[in-house]
């Protein structure tokens, strides 16, 4: 493996792409240390929000966002929201494309349509980032992280508040620009590489926090055992993610070929290939969906907790202590069901957009034993749901694994992103190496 890595480094254009990607990631870490202007947050108060205590439910969900931002949310830098609004906008556009005919036509117009689709996604990202900045800042004001006298969009200090929100929105759009630069001039998918860099940045801090927490509760020997056990669980989880992520069901396809022999007679023969149906065709999207659904009522309950109406305060307290309590089993069950349901939903959505049965019929191809057209479509849909069952159950278990392990050091979504991005990047490097007649990583 080391020799193959060195062979990649010896290719001039690949070496330039890798160096360019590293420079962009370095610039991103520089931005992570630039705090939002006109804010005078207290570091102790801000750090306590992400630990267990009175704000346990909110802290755990914000802690996941902090991992994706590389710790920028905890320091409240201008890139505190990372590229999460852009990911949300991308998911929204994918969901709307089969519903809105104009978007569906863009998906079928080739490269020009794809560029227009990406431009619309970036435009949608701006209001989403502004709203997320407003929500996060309002929560920080309520818990005392930000000064309420300076943050008021409809008060005398509206200009300062607007500057804070625009700074956060601009930080997100700068990261989106960085991601597109990496995609065009660097290695791998830019947005995924940025998320990967943020997660890797937070890993040492998470390990340190877990060690200190174990030392406080059980002593040094107990903390070492806990870290060893957590390390084993992490290795097994990563192996399972790789196995499921690469798992596929190969569906045989026959393409008829004709050739002229003798006196112009057509002789037909069948060429056999296959369609790979992935076990986890939804990737990390179901986990993001489920986290977004759970984050919304959590934020609402935090707003209602400061209401002047006593019944709203009581309802918010009940919601936080029962329905949204991450220590209770029914919360895990609800999270599990959400992930499984979203996995099936997104897998069906992506499969319908590909129109595989219709494309096979146009090309004259067929699945042995099934007629082209409707019979092929029903067979593929049934097979998709059977194959997706394993991936959906695995993602569901992966989602609740941190709660079962009683630790927030092990983030299932973060592990899935790291493994998926690493595999995709290796595949792209593999393709570049193969084109230059070098032996690849996966051979």
When pLDDT is cut at 50, 70 and 90, the band that residue 407 belongs to is low
| 187-197 confidence digits (pLDDT tens) | 888 888 888 88
pLDDT on residue 124: 92
Q: Give yes or no for residue 414 having a pLDDT over 80.
A: no
Percent of the chain with pLDDT over 70: 73
Q: Give yes or no for residue 271 having a pLDDT over 80.
A: no
Nearest to 209 by CA among 362, 51, 411, 424: 51
When pLDDT is cut at 50, 70 and 90, the band that residue 54 belongs to is very low
At 31, give phi and psi (nearest 5°): -65, -30
Q: Is pLDDT larger for residue 18 or for residue 288?
A: 18
Max CA-CA distance within the chain? 93
- Distance from C-alpha of 429 to C-alpha of 6, rounded to nearest angstrom: 12
3 state SS of 278: strand
pLDDT on residue 143: 65
Residues 378-386, mean pLDDT to the nearest whole number: 88
CA distances from 169 to 33, 118, 175, 403, 435 (A): 16, 18, 10, 32, 40
When pLDDT is cut at 50, 70 and 90, the band that residue 52 belongs to is very low
The pTM of the full predicted model, rounded to 2 decimals, is 0.77
| 90-139 confidence digits (pLDDT tens) | 888 877 887 888 887 887 777 788 888 889 999 999 998 898 888 777 77
Q: Give yes or no for residue 272 having a pLDDT over 90.
A: no
| 61-73 confidence digits (pLDDT tens) | 666 677 777 778 7
Q: Give yes or no for residue 45 having a pLDDT over 60.
A: no
Q: Which two tokens stand for residue 219?
A: 């002593």
Q: Is pLDDT larger for residue 213 or for residue 134?
A: 134
| 219-261 confidence digits (pLDDT tens) | 455 566 766 777 777 788 788 888 888 888 888 888 776 555 5
pLDDT on residue 89: 86
Q: Is pLDDT larger for residue 207 or for residue 377?
A: 377
Range name among 390-394, 407-411, 429-433 with the lowest pLDDT average: 407-411
Range name among 17-21, 79-83, 213-217, 336-340 with the lowest pLDDT average: 213-217
Q: Give yes or no for residue 24 having a pLDDT over 60.
A: yes
pLDDT on residue 213: 57
Give the number of other CB atoms < 10 A from CB of residue 306: 13
pLDDT on residue 436: 64
Q: Give yes or no for residue 365 having a pLDDT over 90.
A: no
3 state SS of 276: strand
- Distance from C-alpha of 119 to C-alpha of 275, rounded to nearest angstrom: 31
Q: Which two tokens stand for residue 103?
A: 């978007």
Instruction: For the chain, give the mean pLDDT.
Output: 76
Range name among 156-170, 363-377, 425-439 with the lowest pLDDT average: 425-439
Nearest to 254 by CA among 135, 360, 111: 360
pLDDT on residue 291: 74
| 334-347 confidence digits (pLDDT tens) | 888 888 988 888 88
| DSSP assigned state of 370 | S
CB contact set of 436 (below 8 Å; sequence gap of 6+): 11
* Cβ atoms of 314 and 374 closer than 8 Å: no
At 103, give phi and psi (nearest 5°): -70, -35
Give the number of other CB atoms < 10 A from CB of residue 159: 9
Which domains are assigned to the chain?
18-186 (1.10.3370.10), 227-257+269-438 (1.10.3370.10)
Range name among 31-40, 204-213, 262-271 with the lowest pLDDT average: 262-271
- Distance from C-alpha of 47 to C-alpha of 145, rounded to nearest angstrom: 9
CB contact set of 326 (below 8 Å; sequence gap of 6+): 56, 57, 60, 403
pLDDT on residue 145: 66
When pLDDT is cut at 50, 70 and 90, the band that residue 39 belongs to is low
């Amino acid at each position: 493996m080391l020799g193959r890595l060195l062979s990649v480094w010896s290719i001039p254009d690949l070496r330039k792409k890798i160096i360019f990607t590293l420079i962009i990631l370095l610039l991103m870490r520089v931005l992570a240390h630039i705090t939002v202007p006109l804010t005078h947050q207290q570091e102790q108060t801000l750090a306590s929000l992400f630990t267990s205590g009175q704000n346990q439910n909110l802290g755990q969900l914000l802690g996941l966002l902090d991992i994706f931002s590389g710790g920028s949310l905890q320091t409240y830098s201008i890139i505190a929201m990372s590229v999460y609004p852009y990911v949300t906008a991308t998911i929204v556009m994918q969901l709307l494309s089969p519903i809105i005919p104009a978007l569906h036509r863009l998906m079928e117009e080739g490269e020009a349509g794809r560029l227009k689709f990406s431009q619309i996604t970036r435009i949608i990202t701006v209001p989403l980032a502004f709203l997320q900045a407003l929500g996060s800042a309002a929560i920080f004001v309520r818990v005392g992280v930000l000064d309420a006298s300076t943050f008021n969009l409809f008060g005398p200090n509206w200009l300062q508040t607007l500057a804070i929100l625009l700074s956060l929105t601009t930080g997100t759009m700068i990261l989106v620009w960085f991601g597109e630069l990496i995609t065009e001039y660097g290695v791998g998918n830019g947005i995924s590489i940025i998320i990967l860099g943020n997660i890797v940045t937070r890993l040492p801090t998470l390990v340190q926090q877990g060690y200190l927490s174990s030392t406080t509760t059980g002593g040094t020997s107990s903390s070492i055992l806990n870290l060893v056990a957590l390390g084993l669980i992490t290795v097994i989880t990563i192996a399972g993610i790789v196995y499921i992520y690469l798992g596929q069901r190969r569906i045989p396809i026959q393409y008829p070929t004709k050739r002229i022999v003798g006196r112009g007679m057509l002789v037909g023969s069948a060429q056999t290939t296959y369609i790979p149906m992935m076990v986890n065709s939804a990737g990390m999207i179901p986990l993001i969906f489920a986290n977004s659904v759970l984050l919304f009522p959590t934020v609402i309950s935090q707003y209602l907790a400061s209401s002047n109406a006593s019944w709203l305060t009581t309802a918010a307290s009940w919601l936080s202590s029962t329905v949204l309590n991450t220590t209770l089993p029914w919360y895990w069950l609800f999270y599990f069901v959400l992930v499984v349901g979203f996995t099936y939903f997104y897998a069906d959505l992506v499969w319908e957009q590909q129109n595989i049965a219709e494309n096979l019929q146009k090309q004259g191809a067929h699945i042995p034993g099934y007629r082209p057209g409707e019979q092929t479509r029903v067979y593929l849909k049934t097979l998709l749901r059977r194959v997706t069952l394993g991936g959906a159950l695995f993602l569901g278990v992966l989602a609740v694994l941190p709660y079962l392990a009683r630790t927030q050091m092990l983030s299932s979504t973060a592990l899935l992103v790291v493994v998926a991005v690493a595999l995709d990047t290796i595949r792209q490097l593999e393709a570049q190496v193969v084109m230059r007649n070098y032996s690849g990583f996966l051979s």
